[in-house]
Structure 1
């Protein structure tokens, strides 16, 4: 199956747990990978004005990727969606930080674009509201249906 891994916001700003960074690094080694990083630009997304906080203005992905895109809000840009469409993949595996916000926003954008978003449930963590990520996994399952684990994906790749 032709697939790509989309890593959402695994960057210093969001203090990802080491197990997540290590797990995504190991998983991404065998699959084409795109990383999204969120940078602050108040003119694009008014985080400070509306929420009283903002991500860093400079940061980088903690996981090497074939392509890195910057976003200034919750969801991926149109450029990201067009890039993924041009790859002609059958599904987009999604992992990363804030399962119920930024990861879910990526799922909606991918779904709306006719792509096949599939959450890698053991490579995601939730926001401070739900660090377990369970709320995000339930929302993802409800809206998109497709969830998997890295073990299931690796078994598919070998088998």
Structure 2
């Protein structure tokens, strides 16, 4: 099965745990990969005004994917989705930070583009509401159905 990996916001502002970076790095050599990095620009997304918090304006991806796309806000950019579509994959595997917000927003964008989003349950963490990521995985399963429970399953196929 031809697939690509979308890594959502694994960047310093969100303090990713070491297991997340290590697991993603294990998958990177096995398929095409894209990362999003959320950067702050108050004129585009009012994080400070509404949430009294924001990611850094100069954050970088902490994993070395084939491509990196900068975004401002929760969802991936149309350019990110277009690039993934250009790869002509059968599904897009999704992992990263904030399973119940940014990762879920990526799922909706991929779904709407017909790109068959599949979350990797052991390679997501949640927001401060649920750092385990379990809520995000439950929401993903409800909306999209496709869940890979453990990333090792992808290494053996």
Does the alignment reach a TM-score above 0.5? yes
Q: How many residues align?
A: 156
Per the alignment, residue 22 of structure 1 pairs with 22
| Bigger mean CA offset, 19-28 vs 108-117 | 19-28
Following TM superposition, the consecutive aligned residue runs of length 4 or more in structure 1 with deviations greater than 6 angstroms are none
Per the alignment, residue 133 of structure 2 pairs with 133
Gaps of 5+ in 2: none
Per the alignment, residue 74 of structure 1 pairs with 74
Query: Which TM-score applies when normalising by structure 2?
Result: 0.97
Q: Over aligned residue pairs, what C-alpha RMSD do you find?
A: 0.7
Query: Which TM-score applies when normalising by structure 1?
Result: 0.96
- TM-superposed deviation, 1:30: 1.7
Query: Per-residue displacement from partner, 1:103-156 (whole Å, max 9, x unpaired)?
Result: 000000000111100001111101111011000000000000000021222222
Gaps of 5+ in 1: none
1:111-122 equivalence runs, <5 A: 111-122=111-122
| Bigger mean CA offset, 129-138 vs 145-154 | 145-154
Query: Per-residue displacement from partner, 1:60-118 (whole Å, max 9, x unpaired)?
Result: 10000100000000000111111111110000000000000000000000001111000
Per the alignment, residue 53 of structure 1 pairs with 53
Per the alignment, residue 12 of structure 2 pairs with 12
Q: Distance in 1 between matches of 2:3 and 2:54?
A: 32
SS at match of 1:99: coil
Q: Distance in 1 between matches of 2:153 and 2:19?
A: 18
Q: Distance in 2 between matches of 1:152 and 1:22?
A: 15
Q: Distance in 2 between matches of 1:27 and 1:115?
A: 19
Q: Distance in 2 between matches of 1:116 and 1:53?
A: 32
| Residue 90 (structure 1) aligned with residue 93 (structure 2) | no
Q: Distance in 1 between matches of 2:21 and 2:114?
A: 29
